[in-house]
Amino acid sequence: MGTAIGIDLGTSNSTAAIYRNGKVQSIPIEGKSILPSVVSCKDDGQILVGNSAKSRLYMDPQNSMASSKRFIGNPSKVYHIQNKQVTPIDIAQYILEKIKNEASKYLGEEVTDAVITIPAYFTEEQREATKQAGERAGLKVLRLVAEPTAAAIAYGLDRERNQTIMVYDLGGGTFDVSILKVENNSFKVIAVDGDTKLGGDDFDEMIVQHLLHSIQTETGSNQYTEGSSSLQRIKEAAEEAKKELSDSDLVDIVVPDIFGTHIEMELDIATFNQTVQPLIQRTIEKMEEVLQSAGLSKREISRVILVGGSTRMRAVQEAVTKEIKKPYIADNVDEVVAHGAAIMAAHLSAPSRDSLPIPIVVEEVTAHSFGVDMIDVQDQQLKVFHLIKRNTKLPCVGATIGSTLRPYQPSIRAGVFRTESQVPAEEAKLGELKMPVSIRPYYVNVVSLFELDENGILTFSTAEIGRRSLLLSRYRETKEVDLDMLKLMIAQGEITPKKIVIDTNKVEV
């Protein structure tokens, strides 16, 4: 049996760890605990990953890609590199291959399996894409675990007390907030929320805008080419300044020879904190929302754990202290997520080998609600009927029964939605399903089934059911699909649902 490790595939940086001989240890990659999640392609086609790629971000920005995790699972995002098309999945694959190879070298044994962490708020397309990247990198993906859950595992493994933990995770590109109940070695997520478009990069961008504004005042020009090396230098200077402000009250930003001028500017912590306040406010609102959906008050939170590089910002720590309570900050914020993943990997790869002091139990929930659109018989409006509600424990299933709108209708269509609302908004639509049905002089019924697996990957199945079916009469009585009966009917071959893994594009079965 091969070796299993935990991998934190981060937006800015990735880390890896292993649980061995009763403890977790970080796996250095090229001698460093952190691998920049950057890929660069040289003129000769050679692909560089990590630090060597990061240094090319500035020299050769057109052929270098950072923060591509922001686009994973988005089928329309394609990079054009050296006449080749590269997708965010390819980039994740290169990073994972690098980690697999380096870890195998370091450990002296072939790494074959991994638990990979993902933001809790990742959609199923993003989860599927991450899993695919892992598999393409030659790894058996034992499980995708939410980053906050992994952090709580790493934090809570040796702590006996029962606790309600809030994990505030602000990385380079995403923000997640989760609430977990931890009892001994059982980790149950009870609510998650987040924003896949909020992270450290946005804080950098605030400083970049500040700097560009000053260049404009200086030169009167505002023609900045996106992707140019000058802009990249400004971005780097902005990130450096932001990091320095985590430790000092004043920073000097110097960028020589830029857009026909040179920048020399002081930025103090008060101005920075004020500039980024709208971003901090967004995280506070999410914290309040997640508390509400967990049905908890701030006082019921026993511990707040901060995860992700951006929680080093003092403005974040102050906001959390003011809103909830003084947070716990791990010594190794960058590694704590990979540590949790490593513990999970040890547990999943050798559950009977006593590799862990006590087996751990992890329960996660879905961060989104899913439904299909149907005409509401009450008011004849097209509405989304939720089959799976947000914060339901994974894995889970949900089903409903719909019918054709008129006799002799040859097919049925259903819009599949990921939304909290009942309004079938186009942007919340995952796909449109069109299925031929038997042409009958009466209404034909169709059962729709959503299944979310333990990784949060969605499968949608649908099947026609007979009008004398017991499932239908039971549904008419209770207004709920008897899931046990449905499973039995499928198992016995009475109905054969057409299964599809939801794609963001239209689907036909």
Q: Which residue ranges make up the site for ligand AMP (CB under 6 A)?
A: 10-13, 171-172, 200-201, 239, 242-243, 246, 308-310, 312-313, 334
State the nearest-atom distance from the C-beta of 151 to ligand AMP, in Å.
11
Q: Answer whether 440's CB lies under 8 Å from 459's CB.
A: no
Q: Which is nearer to ligand AMP, 151 or 399 (CB)?
A: 151
| CB nearer to ligand AMP: pick between 73 and 172 | 172
Vertex 128, ends 157 and 482: CA angle to 5°? 85
DSSP 69: G
How far apart are alpha carbons 113 and 115 in whole angstroms? 7
Other Cβ atoms within 10 Å of 42 Cβ, number:
15
For the CB of residue 220, give the shortest distance to ligand AMP in the complex, in Å.
Answer: 31
Question: Which CB atom, from 304 or from 449, has the smaller least distance to ligand AMP?
Answer: 304
Sign (positive or negative) of CA dihedral 184, 188, 194, 199: positive
Strands (E), 240-343: 250-258, 261-268, 303-307, 328-329
CB of 225 to ligand AMP, least distance (A): 23
CB nearer to ligand AMP: pick between 66 and 263: 66
Q: What is the spatial distance between Cα 4 and Cα 2, in angstroms, rounded to a whole number?
A: 7
375 pairs with which residues across the strands? Answer: 382
Question: Tokens 């760890």 label which residue?
Answer: 17
CA 79 to chain centre: 21
Q: Which residue has the tokens 């097919």?
A: 411
Closest distance between ligand AMP and the C-beta of residue 67, in Å? 9
Q: Which amino acid is at 5?
A: I
For ligand AMP, give the closer residue by CB, 245 or 465. 245
**Least distance from C-beta 32 to ligand AMP, angstroms?**
13
Please provide residue 28's backbone torsions phi and psi, each rounded to the nearest 5 degrees: -70, 145
Task: Give the nearer residue to ligand AMP in terms of CB position, either 102 or 239.
Answer: 239
Give the nearer residue to ligand AMP in terms of CB position, either 172 or 497. 172
**Other CB atoms within 10 A of residue 138 CB:** 14
Q: Which residues are catalytic?
A: 8, 69, 147, 169
Closest approach, Cβ 307 to ligand AMP, in A, equals 7
Which residue, 342, 301, 449, is CA-closest to 387? 449
Of all residues in the shown chain, the one whose CB is closest to ligand AMP is: 200
Nearer to ligand AMP, 205 or 482 (CB): 205
- Closest distance to ligand AMP from the beta carbon of 313 (Å): 5
> Which residue, 73 or 173, has its beta carbon nearer to ligand AMP?
173
Which residue in the block uniquely carries the two structure tokens 């409006």? Answer: 381
- CB of 250: closest distance to ligand AMP in angstroms? 15
DSSP 3-state assignment of 182? strand
CA-CA-CA-CA torsion for 152, 32, 80, 229, nearest 10 degrees? 110
- What is the rounded CA–CA span in Å between residue 237 and residue 388? 45
Q: What is the pairing mode between strands 23-26 and 3-9?
A: unpaired
Tokens for 138, please give them. 């030659």
Return all residues near 273 (Cβ < 8 A) that are at least 6 apart: 314, 315
Min dist. Cβ of residue 179 to ligand AMP (A)? 20
Q: Can you state the angle between helices 51-59 and 229-244, rounded to 10 degrees?
A: 120
Query: 46-53 — which CB contacts under 8 Å span 24+ positions?
Result: 47/94, 49/94, 49/95, 49/97, 49/98, 50/95, 50/98
